[in-house]
Amino acid sequence: MSTTTAHPVRQQRQLNAIGLLTGALFGGILAGANLHEFDSIHSFLRLDDLYIAWFMGSAIAVSAPILWWLERRGTDTPLGGRLALSRAKPEAHHVKGGAIFGLGWAIAGTCPAPALVMVSSGALLGLVAIAGIFLGLHLRERQAMRELVDLTERVPVRN
């Protein structure tokens, strides 16, 4: 009997522990780099200080080749699936979504992960950003459901 079927509760606890440790490490990196600071984000968006661009660029430069190598090796993820990177051609909805995300980022001075770091560091303004994030998710879900209903209404039903 495999570990996956024999001990699903233990496996779930291990996955939760991995998620917690990874999230805490990521949050610590964001906090250490001041990526949860409103002023840091706005100085970057105004192109006054490109520290964040260098930080994100270096993260991509380090992680992209490692992820490519791991995918090529056929590495399994902690969830048990094969690592498969998404490769999609940019479409109009990607550009629209990126513009909406960027607008929210500029207004709030944060995005989802740094908003959580803001709250954990005592900056309660992060709660407003988190509420906005959930509102955006809710509105996107409503839009997707409308599109699904429209699609199903156009499909003819055969008897």
Structure token pair of residue 26? 């990521």
Read off the amino acid at residue 154: R
Which residues face 76 on adjacent strands? 82
> How many CB atoms within 10 Å of residue 30?
20
Instruction: Work out the end-to-end distance of the chain between its first and last CA atoms, rounded to an integer number of angstroms.
Output: 46
Walk along the chain (159 residues) and give the pLDDT tens digit of each residue.
444 455 788 888 888 898 889 988 998 898 888 888 888 888 988 899 999 999 999 999 999 999 999 999 999 987 778 999 888 898 998 898 889 888 888 888 888 888 888 888 888 888 988 898 899 889 889 988 988 888 887 767 676
Residue 34 phi/psi, 5-degree rounding, is 60, 30
Beta-carbon count within 10 A of 108 CB: 20
pTM (2 decimals)? 0.65
In angstroms, rounded to a whole number, what is the distance separating the alpha carbons of residues 79 and 91? Answer: 29
Tokens 């207004």 sit at which residue? Answer: 107
Per the DSSP assignment, residues forming a β-bridge with 82 are 76
pLDDT recorded at residue 103? 86
Amino acid at residue number 12:
Q
**Helix or strand or coil: residue 76?**
strand
- How far does CA 9 lie from the centroid of its chain? 26
